[in-house]
């Protein structure tokens, strides 16, 4: 199966002046002093209206750059909200042992570190999930459900930025609007088109003969004990 992916343009980041800092009184005073210093050190009065405005614009922008500064890089994705120091240490240890294993080192230490990292991730997620459930169930915190939805959306982001969707024509949708439109077409077809059953091929027997078999507690406990950590969730 071949999947054709449309080329994604790399976003060019442009530094921005942190002009929102001027809302604070400390930055306001510093900015005002820089403007006064600019006017005080002016060598000669610019000739003409255009030259005067160019001089004023350059001075205002230079003062803003000096007082507020500029952003240094594009916005980075925030780290997972369940991440903690124990998970970070376990992941670093696992990566280090993986590099040694690829260079010909022993395999057992890497596998042990891998199992340890999985367990730390499971424990960290479980603690945060229990906390989130308490927050959502709390009647005094009406925004809990919205915070949970935002976190789920952040965790669902792909390398492009959002989840992708394969449309009927075989192309992959990456843009939010295209994904929503593709899902709408899918559900319109799913919910509004009748499935044509071949009644001659349908069985006339009852689906279940007799009472359903009872499931004992020890059978369920035995099945849960055989599961790995995190699989039951």
227: burial class by Cβ within 10 Å (0-12, 13-18, 19+)? exposed
Q: Among 143, 149, 137, 183, which residue's Cα sits nearest to residue 164?
A: 183
**Quick one: pLDDT at residue 186?**
86
Gap between the Cα atoms of 171 and 189, Å rounded: 18
pLDDT of the residue at 233: 44
- What is the spatial distance between Cα 65 and Cα 199, in angstroms, rounded to a whole number? 76
Which pLDDT score, from 0 to 100, does residue 93 have? 93
Residues in the chain with pLDDT < 70? 1-13, 43-46, 73-80, 139, 154-163, 195, 206-210, 212, 229-233
| Domain layout of the chain by residue ranges | 19-67, 81-156, 162-207
What is the Cα–Cα distance from 140 to 134, expressed in whole angstroms? Answer: 11
Q: What is the pTM of this model?
A: 0.36
Burial of 206 (0-12, 13-18, 19+ CB in 10 A): exposed
Residues β-bridged to residue 173: 165
211: its two tokens: 């009472």
């Amino acid at each position: 199966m071949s999947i054709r992916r449309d080329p994604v343009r790399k976003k060019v980041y442009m530094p921005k002046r942190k002009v929102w800092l001027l809302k604070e009184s400390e930055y306001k005073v510093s900015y005002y002093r820089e403007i006064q210093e600019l006017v005080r050190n002016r060598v000669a009065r610019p000739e003409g209206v255009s030259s005067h405005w160019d001089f004023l614009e350059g001075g205002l922008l230079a003062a803003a750059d000096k007082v507020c500064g500029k952003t240094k890089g594009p916005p980075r994705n925030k780290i997972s909200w369940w991440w903690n120091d124990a998970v970070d240490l376990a992941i670093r240890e696992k990566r280090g042992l993986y590099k040694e294993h690829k260079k010909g080192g022993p395999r057992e230490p890497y596998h042990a570190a891998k199992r340890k990292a999985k367990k730390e991730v499971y424990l960290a997620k479980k603690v945060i999930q229990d906390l989130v459930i308490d927050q959502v169930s709390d009647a005094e915190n009406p925004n809990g459900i919205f915070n949970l939805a935002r976190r789920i959306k952040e965790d669902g982001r792909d390398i492009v930025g959002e989840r992708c969707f394969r449309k009927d024509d075989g192309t992959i949708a990456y843009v939010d609007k295209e994904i929503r439109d593709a899902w709408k077409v899918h559900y319109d077809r799913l919910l509004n088109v009748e499935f044509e059953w071949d009644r001659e091929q349908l069985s006339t027997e009852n689906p279940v003969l007799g009472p359903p078999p009872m499931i004992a507690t020890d059978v369920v406990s035995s099945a849960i004990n055989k599961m790995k950590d995190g699989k039951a969730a």
